[in-house]
Amino acid sequence: MLAEHFDTASLPAIRQLEGWQAWYDKMFDVMPAPTRDEGFVAQNETWGVPGITLSRVNSPANTVNRTTSVIRRNAIDHWVFTLSKQSASDVTARGGISFEAPPQTPFILSFGEEMAIRRRTDDRRIQVILARDSFPTIAPLIDAARGRTINTPGARMLADYMLLLERNMPVLEAENSQRLRSAVEAMLVACLAPTAKGLAAARDQINLTLMERVRQAVRRNLRSHLLGPDKLCREAATSRSQLYRLLESEGGVTRYIQRRRLLESFSLLCDARNDVTIGAVAEMLCFADPSTFSRAFRREFGMSPKEVRALSHAGLPPAPPAKEITGPAIRTFSDCLRAF
């Protein structure tokens, strides 16, 4: 795994834009927004394995151009999948085709062609860059989708999968890096041109991506009494039957939600600075009453909430629960690749 980090924060404000332009000199011409004041604090982190690079960028509003002269200086023709998290992008791609890519909507371009991208506001974005020579089997599929936003039924799935890559690729174990290419290829086929065969090949990656949606939805709603199958189906964009299949190994939807709430309560009670009463913790996390909460807590962790709090106040907080989520939960990218 190759990892690189570059940021301009350590440079004098008057030199920050120059430093950012130098960083991208062989790839893009970079221009700040016309109204930009002095200073250009930006950051780029990249992680790479053979054939695949993940790039995470935080930058002020700007315009990047990959012109004919830049292409001549650096003839790389990799594909780049971009997902902006907060800014719309005005894109001009091959043949002068222009389109707008809203935030959270992936689009594909080729570094082998001229392009211009204007980001209207400060932006956080991720880019998955694929070497053309590493993906010859699906080259026609990606080429057919480039130069526009992805508007297939798999667009949201692709966006969520890119976020999953962002979360896990930095901790990818070396022995799994070779399997990453097969996983990414299967997922792209399923998202860009879904067929029964392609969906079957990407089943494990799809389930992992759906599970991440469910995990995020549960985390957002841990303190809501409305959290249940209906709300999870809406927020994770999945069917009830699919949700039940995903959480079957967790003991079901209700059990999964309860365990996440118990883990949250364990964390709160281990914080000696937190003086919220045990009854208030139980109410906060939607348990019927303190007695129900205490019984569930003891069954889960082998000690009562009072014992955990007492140990924490004594400066001896118990170790985090060894029994983390089982099944297809996301911890490292190794989990994402295990089926491939």
pLDDT in tens, 103-135: 999 999 999 899 999 998 999 999 999 998 889
pLDDT in tens, 83-105: 999 899 999 997 788 999 999 99
CB 59 within 8 A of CB 120: no
Best CA proximity match to 333, nearest among 4, 6, 43, 52: 52
Domain limits, the chain: 2-152, 202-340
202 exposure class (CB count in 10 Å sphere: 0-12, 13-18, 19+): buried
Residue 198's pLDDT is 61
Q: How many CB atoms lie within 10 A of CB 191?
A: 28
DSSP notation for 42-78: -EEEEEEETTEEEEEEEE-SEEEEE-HHHHHH-----
Residue 97's pLDDT is 87
Q: What is the mean pLDDT of residues 291-304?
A: 92
Residue 202 CA to residue 188 CA, distance in Å, equals 9
What DSSP element (H or E) covers 270?
A: helix 253-270
The correct CATH number of 2-152 out of 3.30.565.10, 2.60.120.10, 2.30.110.10, 3.40.120.10 is 2.60.120.10
| Both structure tokens of 298 | 């003891």
302 exposure class (CB count in 10 Å sphere: 0-12, 13-18, 19+): exposed
CB 159 within 8 A of CB 216: no
Only one residue has tokens 């039940």, namely 244
Residue 323, pLDDT above cutoff 60: no
Residue 340's pLDDT is 29
Q: pTM of the predicted model, to two decimals?
A: 0.69
Of the given ranges (17-26, 40-49, 202-211), which has the lowest mean pLDDT?
202-211
The correct CATH number of 202-340 out of 1.10.10.60, 1.10.357.10, 3.40.50.10090, 1.10.3720.10 is 1.10.10.60
pLDDT tier at 76, thresholds 50, 70, 90: confident
CB 64 within 8 A of CB 17: no
Residue 330's pLDDT is 32
88 exposure class (CB count in 10 Å sphere: 0-12, 13-18, 19+): middle
Q: Which long-range contacts (CB under 8 A, 24 or more apart) does 166-170 make?
A: 166/54, 166/56, 166/126, 167/212, 167/330, 168/330, 168/332, 168/333, 168/335, 168/336, 169/47, 169/54, 169/333, 170/3, 170/45, 170/47, 170/54
The one-letter code for the residue type at 260 is R
Q: What is the mean pLDDT of residues 13-23?
A: 90
| Both structure tokens of 263 | 């883990």
Supply the angle between the helices 229-236 and 203-220 in degrees, to the nearest 10.
120
Q: Are strands 79-84 and 123-130 parallel, antiparallel or unpaired?
A: antiparallel
Region for 286 from its dihedrals, namely left if φ exceeds 0, alpha if ψ lies in -120 to 50, beta otherwise: left
